[in-house]
């Protein structure tokens, strides 16, 4: 999976900048960002809060428009890519619909996209099985723990089989144990499906464990400080965390983060 065959980037970011007007001035959320993401990569964006991770992801997803620079997704504008439903987005909060049960929540994109009615249930059940929630399809969101809700939202993002997955701190609110479990599951999912993942986190070990490359960002103004290649073999498991290179990468990332701080 790490050996990328295609040479055309799936996401390409050039001199990208985003400035928000705020009372009495402006916030530079992102400045001169440059990045190319190849198909099949697992990219993590890491940095302190306020460094523009969410902004960068939202720009790629065409949820906001840049104030300078340009970017392309699948060789098109983000808007065109969104119109073609090129990506799934997992938000920081599960954002489930309270009035829909788990199965029906996962079916939501299939309904919106008018995919054949007959296939919907089967597809949604398949996704629920993938995230280990097949026994909970009749439950409502309030009956699930935070981790289970986030898994439903991942199943929902996968339901229409987008080649690209944007994930904004999906496990940020979860306890360490649940989080490490979900990390393992996410890696398995990524290897099995061959999707490209752009993953936001502020945990160094999570970034190293998951990624093929880690994009280190720093704040005020938000910018990309450096990119670290993670050359750990796949499949990765708990023992990958014991690998001496794991610590090397973590240290390298920590140094980059400090550089932005100084």
Partner 1 sequence: MTTAAPDSPLAAAPASRSRRASNAGPMLAVAALALLLYWPVMLLANRGVAQRALDSGADLGCKTALACATQLRNPVIPAPGQFLEGFRALTIPPTAPTSAPYNMLVTGGETLLGLSLASLLGLILATLLVRSRSFERATLPWLIASQTVPIVAIAPMLAVLLGQYGVQGFLPKAIIAAYIAFFPVAIGMAQGLRSPDPLQLDLMRTYRASPGQVFGLLRLPASLPYLFTSLKVAATAALVGSIVAEISTISFSGLGKMLAENSRASDTVALWVIMVYSAVLGIALVALIGWLEKGVTRWRPAR
Ligand X SMILES: Nc1ncnc2c1ncn2[C@@H]1O[C@H](COP(=O)(O)OP(=O)(O)O)[C@@H](O)[C@H]1O
Residue whose CB is less far from partner 1, 177 or 262: 177
* Dihedral over alpha carbons 205, 36, 218, 195 (to 10 degrees): -40
Give yes or no for residue 140 binding partner 1 (CB under 8 A). yes
> Of 56-85, which residues contact partner 1 (CB under 8 A)?
61-63, 82-83, 85
**Binder of residue 222, out of Mg ion, ligand X, partner 1, none (CB less than 5 to 8 A by kind):** ligand X
Name the closest residue to Mg ion (Cβ): 54
Would you report the helix, strand and coil content of the chain in percent, each value rounded to 5?
40, 25, 35
> What residues have CB less than 8 Å from 133, skipping those under 6 apart?
102, 148, 151, 152, 155
Nearest approach in angstroms of CB 174 to ligand X is 17
Give the 3-state secondary structure of residue 96. Answer: coil
Among residues 21, 22, 142, 233, which is the contact residue for partner 1, using CB under 8 A?
Answer: 142
Element housing 12 (H / E): strand 11-22
Give yes or no for residue 167 binding partner 1 (CB under 8 A). no
Paired strand residues for 214: 44, 228
Among residues 109, 170, 222, 260, which is the contact residue for partner 1, using CB under 8 A?
Answer: 109
Taking the C-alpha atoms of residue 252 and residue 215, their distance in angstroms, rounded to an integer, is 12
Take residue 230 and report the two structure tokens written for it. Answer: 């993670």
**Binder of residue 206, out of Mg ion, ligand X, partner 1, none (CB less than 5 to 8 A by kind):** none
Binding site residues, ligand X, CB under 6 A? 20, 22, 27, 29, 47, 49-55, 222
What is the length of the chain?
262
Residue whose CB is less far from ligand X, 52 or 162: 52
Give yes or no for residue 44 binding Mg ion (CB under 5 A). no
Taking the C-alpha atoms of residue 97 and residue 108, their distance in angstroms, rounded to an integer, is 9
Give yes or no for residue 113 binding partner 1 (CB under 8 A). yes
Rounded (10°) angle between helices 117-130 and 102-112: 130
Among residues 12, 44, 54, 196, which is the contact residue for Mg ion, using CB under 5 A?
Answer: 54
Binding site for partner 1 (CB under 8 A): 61-63, 82-83, 85, 87-89, 91-93, 95, 97-101, 108-109, 111-113, 130-133, 135-136, 140, 142-145, 147-148, 151, 178, 181-182, 185
């Amino acid at each position: 999976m790490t050996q990328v065959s295609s040479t055309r980037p799936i996401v390409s970011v050039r001199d990208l900048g985003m400035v928000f007007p705020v009372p009495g001035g402006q916030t530079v959320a992102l400045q001169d960002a440059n990045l190319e993401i190849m198909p099949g990569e697992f990219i993590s964006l890491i940095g302190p809060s306020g460094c523009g991770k969410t902004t960068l992801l939202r720009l790629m997803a065409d949820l906001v428009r840049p104030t300078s620079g340009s970017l392309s997704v699948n060789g098109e504008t983000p808007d065109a890519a969104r119109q073609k439903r090129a990506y799934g987005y997992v938000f920081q909060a599960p954002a489930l619909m309270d009035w829909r049960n788990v199965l029906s929540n996962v079916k939501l994109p299939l309904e919106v996209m008018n995919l054949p009615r007959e296939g919907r249930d089967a597809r949604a059940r398949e996704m629920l099985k993938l995230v280990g929630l097949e026994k909970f399809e009749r439950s409502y969101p309030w009956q699930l723990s935070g981790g289970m809700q986030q898994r439903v939202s991942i199943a929902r993002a996968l339901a229409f089989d987008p080649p690209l997955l944007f994930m904004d701190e999906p496990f940020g609110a979860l306890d360490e144990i649940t989080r490490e479990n979900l990390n393992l599951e996410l890696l398995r999912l990524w290897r099995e499906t061959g999707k490209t993942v752009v993953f936001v986190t502020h945990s160094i070990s999570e970034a190293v464990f998951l990624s093929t490359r880690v994009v280190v960002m720093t704040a005020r103004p938000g910018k990309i400080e450096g990119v670290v290649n993670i050359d750990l073999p796949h499949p990765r498991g708990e023992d990958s965390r014991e690998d001496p290179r794991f610590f090397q990468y973590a240290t390298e990332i920590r140094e980059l983060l400090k550089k932005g701080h100084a």
